[in-house]
Amino acid sequence: MKKEGGYWQTTTIPIQRSKQASISLFYNKNNWLFTLDNFYKKVTGINSSSQEFQNQLEFVKTNGDYEVLGMEMLVQKKINHFITWFSYTYNTNNYHFPNFEQPVFPNNFKLDHIISWAGIYERKNLKIALGSKWYSGKPETTPMSSTINYSNFCNPKIDYNTPNNKILNDFFQVNFSATYKWESLDQIQYKLGLSLLNALNRKNEINEYYRINTITNSIEDVKTFSLRRTPNLSFRITY
């Protein structure tokens, strides 16, 4: 173990181990389906360099663990040719890196709340589906100042707040798809499909990080967004 940039860094990577426990409830009657899962998971032996940090911890190599505690609920109903389901997931997901100044903080992939809904109509050769997904934003780390730190002129840096101190805006997307299939007299099968991703054309931010722009000598805010409204048409022949 050695200290670099104010953080203790390890030179060995341990074996990753996982402990999990869950309690489930299940109900299925009269075309109703209800499930409730409560779960706990702890993974030890993770290395910070594998966690996709894009802040002050990006080049730090040290070992730690993460712990997840949550629940997932699913309700599903089938009515003739129509089936619909709704799910909700809640979880807390935190890192523990004992060599960091702040040893406990939110996981990079933490999503506190996830809500999904879908409705599917299927009859004979026609299938139509409409679905939506909403989840609370993932964590990000913001700079403490808009000014670059030139205390070491050969190695300018960004001074950050504590890791994952801020949450991105919520994500929401609605998707639509429809397929129709038929067969010719010579038993050749045809399938026509149409889909529309992000039907409401919502601008969803899915990642944000900061870097030094050497041209303007400023801190640059880099954002990544999901696809805007995207249509897709497919046609398949099977023989």
pLDDT per residue over 153-206, tens digit each? Answer: 888 999 999 999 999 999 999 999 999 999 988 889 999 999 999 999 999 999
Q: Using CA atoms, how far apart are residues 17 and 186, in angstroms rounded to an integer? A: 56
Q: Using CA atoms, how far apart are residues 135 and 72, in angstroms rounded to an integer? A: 13
The first and second tokens of residue 145, run together, are 């100042």
Would you say 91 and 73 are in contact if contact means Cβ atoms under 8 Å apart?
A: no
DSSP summary character for residue 160:
B
Beta pairing class for 2-4 and 7-9: antiparallel
Which pLDDT score, from 0 to 100, does residue 129 have?
Answer: 98
- Mean pLDDT to the nearest integer, 217-234: 96
Which pLDDT score, from 0 to 100, does residue 133 have?
Answer: 97
CA angle, 23 as apex, 20 and 29 as ends, to 5°?
140
Q: Using CA atoms, how far apart are residues 156 and 233, in angstroms rounded to an integer? A: 49
Which pLDDT score, from 0 to 100, does residue 1 have?
Answer: 54
Residue 2 has pLDDT above 80, yes or no: no
Which pLDDT score, from 0 to 100, does residue 184 have?
Answer: 87
Domains and CATH numbers, the chain: 2-238 (2.40.170.20)
Q: Which residue has the higher pLDDT, 99 or 5?
A: 99
CA dihedral sign, ordered 133, 136, 140, 144: positive
Average pLDDT taken over every residue of the chain: 92
The first and second tokens of residue 43, run together, are 């993974």
Q: Using CA atoms, how far apart are residues 122 and 124, in angstroms rounded to an integer? A: 7
Task: For 113-135, write each residue's pLDDT tens digit.
Answer: 999 999 999 999 999 999 999 99
Task: For 66-78, write each residue's pLDDT tens digit.
Answer: 999 999 999 999 9
- Mean pLDDT to the nearest integer, 135-150: 94
pTM, whole model, 2 decimals? 0.87
